[in-house]
Amino acid sequence: MTPKEAIELGRKKGAKMVDFKFIDLPGIWQHFSIPAAELKEDTFEEGVGFDGSSIRGFQKIQESDMLLIPDPNSAFMDPACSIPTLSLICNVIDPITRQAYSRDARYVAQKAEAYLKSTGIADISYWGPELEFFIFNDIRYDQNQRSAYYFIDSIEGIWNSGREENPSLGFKPRWKEGYFPVPPSDKLQDIRSEIVLALIEAGVDVEVHHHEVATGGQGEIDMRFKTLTRMGDQVMIYKHTIKNIAVKHNMVANFMPKPLFQDNGSGMHVHQSLWKNEKNIFYDPKGYALIGQAGMHYIGGLLKHASALCGLIAPTTNSYKRLVPGYEAPVNLAYSQRNRSACVRIPVYSKSPNAKRIEFRTPDPACNPYLCFAALLMAGLDGIQNKIDPGKPWDVDLYDLEPEELEKIKTTPGSLEESLNALEEDHEFLLRGDVFTLDLIETWIDYKRRVEVDGVRLRPHPYEFYLYHDI
């Protein structure tokens, strides 16, 4: 789409406002809006200024002026706005050098795609993340010098089976039994359908939606595969749309990896494949699960760098409440066909060469999707370039292995701090082609340690009072 075509799209849809969206380093959309009449073709070249020092992970105050360059190909009518609004996803550049900003995650994704082509291994990569989420009826939390709590509630929650609701009608999914009951147990069918229709209207192709395993309103909506940067855009549109439609219904969407204790958390299983000359290079009719040597080496790269990857793809302290044995959590660094107890699963639904892909199950929806997909691609390419052997497949339930067998399989790190330490030690594969820069990695690690790891570590936890109050 050209700038002229993007402007014309807004005109045809009756846009009154234009919204410029961009992502901060941790992975949250930021934005500001202008009247639609102010959007000109030269805006797409000259850019729009903003204060980079006010954005997490960006500039210092003495170098705060930055520019947004809207991407006309990203144009969509914003499903969250009651006033017709054309939204444009932007890249960040320096106003003096006019160079792309190295801490702009969308630029990292674009560099990853360019690096893939430069290797000659493949022309294009396709990505299909499965983001899980909760839609709750109520969520409250606070943390101060003398108290700390969170409170979650859901009309679906099994914990409310005995609550007087005038009338109480039951039909609440039991713990870990939310996959796939029909309404009235699934009380969010129409809301998810509304979200799907809004996503389609915004240009996001959707394949399926359903309730997920946990009680209390866990769901999943799957998007059709797309190229790396475009899928990063779609993940952000996806989260934006779900959050705002939930609010419209006086409910709240939550993408935390583990909001509920002792029930399944929310992951982001990422399907990925590489293509060259319109052929899937992962496919081999004689290979294990129809995966050839390139695909096996790609898996080898993911497994080798998994601990470091976790610093980017499972990037919160809450991520490691999900990454524990049980609850279908992908903690075992192994691969297998059909097997959801391994962190790499090779789907076998179809024998078509076009359908052959690998699914990496460790990421979660709290990640910055551009950094997540770019890092996974770089790890996989390292595996292909260095012919990394992933070892033997494990076609057994890894959760039921005897201890002596389980010792043979490495596991994901046990905390965000461990993952960041691994990323600090193992990041050379990310620097190839200048896809990630050392500055970005150092800034990411510093922010995560200072704001999140230390922020959680230094505060008393409510459960500590349960354990220690009477000492």
At 350, the pLDDT band (50, 70, 90 cuts) reads confident
Do 434 and 107 meet the contact criterion of CB atoms below 8 Å apart? no
CATH number of the domain that residue 414 is part of: 3.30.590.10
74 and 156 both lie in a single domain: no
Do 145 and 194 sit in the same domain of this protein? yes
- Domain of residue 270 covers 124-468
344 shares its domain with 404: yes
Non-local CB neighbours of 379 within 8 Å, separated by 6+ positions: 301, 302, 304, 305, 306, 309, 429
Check whether residue 134 and residue 193 sit in a common domain. Answer: yes
| Inside any domain, residue 118 | no
Same domain for 27 and 144?
no
Q: Looking at the predicted structure, is the pLDDT value of residue 142 above 80?
A: yes
Residue 256 sits in the same domain as residue 213: yes
Enter the pTM of the model: 0.95
Return mean pLDDT, the chain: 95
The domain that holds 43 is classified in CATH as: 3.10.20.70
**In a domain? residue 106:** no
Is 254 a member of any domain?
yes
Q: Once rounded to an integer, what is the mean pLDDT over residues 329-358?
A: 89
On whether both 412 and 299 belong to a single domain, the answer is: yes
Q: Are residues 416 and 455 in the same domain?
A: yes
More confident residue, 443 or 1: 443
Q: Are residues 158 and 195 in the same domain?
A: yes
Asked if residue 111 is part of any domain, the answer here is no
Last residue of a domain, one of 34, 66, 101: 101
Cβ atoms of 211 and 218 within 8 Å: the answer is: yes
Burial of 374 (0-12, 13-18, 19+ CB in 10 A): buried
The larger pLDDT score, comparing residue 330 to residue 254, is at 254
pLDDT at 328 over 80: no
For the segment 259-275, what is each residue's pLDDT rounded down to a tens digit? 999 999 999 999 999 99
Same domain, 350 and 429: yes
- What's the mean pLDDT in 126-148? 97
**DSSP of 130-164:** EEEEEEESEEEEEE-SS-EEEEEE-TT-GGGTTS-
For 417, what's the count of Cα atoms within 13 Å in the CB-facing half-sphere? 7
The per-residue pLDDT for range 104-114, each reduced to its tens digit, is: 999 999 999 99
The count of domains in the chain is 2
- Which residue among 32, 66, 101 closes a domain? 101
Provide the pLDDT for residue 409: 87
Encode pLDDT of 36-45 as tens digits. Answer: 999 999 999 9
Within this chain, do residues 305 and 414 fall inside the same structural domain, yes or no? yes
For 404-438, what is each residue's pLDDT tens digit? 877 788 999 999 999 999 999 999 999 999 999 99
pLDDT for the residue 406: 78
Catalytic positions are: 51, 130, 132, 212, 220, 269, 340, 359, 361
Span 164-204, pLDDT tens digits: 888 888 899 999 999 989 999 999 999 999 999 999 999 99
Query: pLDDT-derived band of residue 401, with 50, 70 and 90 as boundaries?
Result: confident
* Confidence class for position 143, pLDDT limits 50, 70, 90: very high
pLDDT recorded at residue 43: 96
* Tokens 């801490």, residue located: 103
In a domain, 328, yes or no: yes
> Residue 114 domain-assigned?
no
pLDDT of residue 422: 98
pLDDT per residue as tens digits for the range 222-236: 999 999 999 999 999
Q: Is 300 within the bounds of a domain?
A: yes
| Across 382-390, average pLDDT | 98
Instruction: Tell me: do 70 and 155 sit in the same domain.
Output: no
Structural domain includes residue 119: no
